[in-house]
Every structure is written in C-alpha cells, then in structure tokens.
Amino acid sequence: MDDEDNTDFRPRLLSNQSGAIIRVIDPGVVQKRGDRVTRSEEAALFFVKEYTKVPLPELYAADYFFKDGKEHGIFLMSLVDGSPLHVVWDGFDNSTKERICHELWGTVRQLRQIPRPPALGHLYQCLADGSPSSDVLLEDLNQPPSPILSDDDLQARIYKRYLHHNGGSFPENLPSILPHSSKSVFTHGDLTPRNIIVDSAGRITGIVDWENAGWYPDYWEYANMMKPSNDDDWMAWMDSTKPQEWDITGIMKARRVLF
C-alpha cells in the first residue's frame, strides 16, 4: 500500500469485496465505494480522529446516493503507507509480534475512552451513528430492527438468531453460557490483520475498515478477534497478550451455528 511516484502512477485495485470496492485513484488518494460505505463509518472515523491518537486514513470527502433502493457511499481518503499485517506477519520475530499485539491492545484501550454522544445514551449497542449493527450475531430477524437497550436485549437477540438457525438442536443451554457485561464501549468490530497496516519494522501505520465500529459489550472486540480464520498465530498472540480474561464460550458456540 506504499504511495506511488506521481510520474509512474496508475490507478489500482486494493480490494473488491461484496459491497465495497477500494481503489487508489490518485497518488496518495483512495476511493472506497459501495453499499457497505456508510454514514456510520464516516461517524466512526470522526470519533476516532477527535478523541484518540489511533492512526487511521484521513477522510477527505464523503457522498451518498441511492441505487436499487439501497444507499451507497463514496469515500475519498488518504492512502495508508505500509502493508496489511496478514501479508507480513510470518516474517516478524516473536519479540516484534508481541510488541505489535501490545500496541493493538493499546489501540483498543484508546477506543474504549471515546464518549457516547448524549443522543445515543439510551442505546446499549449501536453503530457509531446510532444505526443497528449488521453483525451476523445481532441482526434482527424483524424489520425494522428493534433497538438494543440493554445487555439482556443483546443476549436475547443472539439467542433468537441461534434458535432461528437451528441452534436448539445442540445440547447446551446457550443463554446460560453467553457472557454478561454491564459495560458498552466503543469498538472497532473487525480488528483483524487485514485491517491493520504496518511498516517494514512492524509499527502500526493505520487501522482501516471502520464500518462495523460502534458501541458493544466490552468483550466484543476480543470475541471478534477470535472468530475462526486463517490468522491462528496472530490470534494466539492476541490471546496471550490480552489485558484481562473474557469468557466467550457462548459467543463461540453461537458462531458455530451462524457461520
């Protein structure tokens, strides 16, 4: 993701995932376009820039339009220099891996200090602009979705989706093992190696992809880091360096049904 020399510049594709196409369109300038480019992500970028020192792309401009009845967005942002962590992780020694993980937990600590706007004070869980989360564990089966006002509401939402996807066929009593939390904190929601940009020395130069960011239970960031993936070694390091213990057994069992 290093910037290009202006004289040799050619637009290039960084990512083409469902709902978001990300391209370098000018030297140092990234365009992110699609129905996953949302007002909520714009709000998240604002909050993180306003209240933390977490490195992230600078948002130059945002625009929204409707296509086929669904809102799409276009962001123009600065290009973050470096490489996605999953590309270079295996090349780092253990001391560098440990340092990176401690730095990431420091990032999480900063995010948790972002204050919730008074207008969102009644919500226990929501995205950065107050809209409902699209996390597979939390999507409401009904439309329009009901707000999640408490920890009990959040657990009930997970359990309802679990039963809807035949989780009742498993012997465990999911509500008894779901984690409880009285704290709802600002959370990236997808803090995985593909969204962490580092330089050649393993210093974090930017955190990207804030579309899932908002207020969640305090265990949520860790639970999403531990989702099944190909990043087993990184996950093990993040687990071993975590600042406290969170029991996410119930979340893992719910994911077994919903993924």
Tens-place pLDDT, residues 80-119: 999 999 999 999 999 999 999 999 999 999 999 999 999 9
**Tens digit of each residue's pLDDT (9 = 90 or more) over 208-227:** 999 999 999 999 999 999 99
Q: What is the mean pLDDT of the chain?
A: 94
CA separation (Å) from 66 to 34, 69, 71, 89, 246? 10, 6, 4, 39, 41
Q: Which of 11-15, 152-156, 189-193, 246-250 is least confident?
A: 11-15
Higher pLDDT, 219 or 17: 219
pLDDT given at position 212: 96
Task: Flag whether pLDDT at 5 surpasses 70.
Answer: no
For position 7, what pLDDT does the model report? 66
**Which pair of tokens denotes residue 102?**
């401690």
**Environment class of 140 (CB within 10 Å of its CB; exposed 0-12, middle 13-18, buried 19+):** middle
How far, in Å, are 25, 28, 49, 56 from residue 53 at the CA level?
Answer: 27, 21, 7, 9
Q: What is the rounded CA–CA span in Å between residue 218 and residue 230?
A: 24
The predicted-structure confidence for 27-67, as pLDDT tens digits, reads as follows 999 999 999 999 999 999 999 999 999 999 999 999 999 99
- Helix crossing, 249-258 with 151-164: angle to 10°? 40
Q: Is the pLDDT of residue 201 over 50?
A: yes
pLDDT of residue 6: 61
Other C-beta atoms within 10 Å of 226: how many? 19
pLDDT at residue 172, as a whole number: 79
Task: Quote the pLDDT of residue 134.
Answer: 87
Q: What percent of the chain has pLDDT over 70?
A: 97
Question: In the predicted model, what is the mean pLDDT of residues 179-184?
Answer: 96
Spatial neighbors of 121 by CB under 8 A, at least 6 apart, are none
pTM, to two decimals: 0.93
pLDDT value for 168: 77
Q: For each of the domains in the chain, give its residue range(s) and CATH number, in order of start.
A: 6-78 (3.30.200.20), 83-258 (3.90.1200.10)
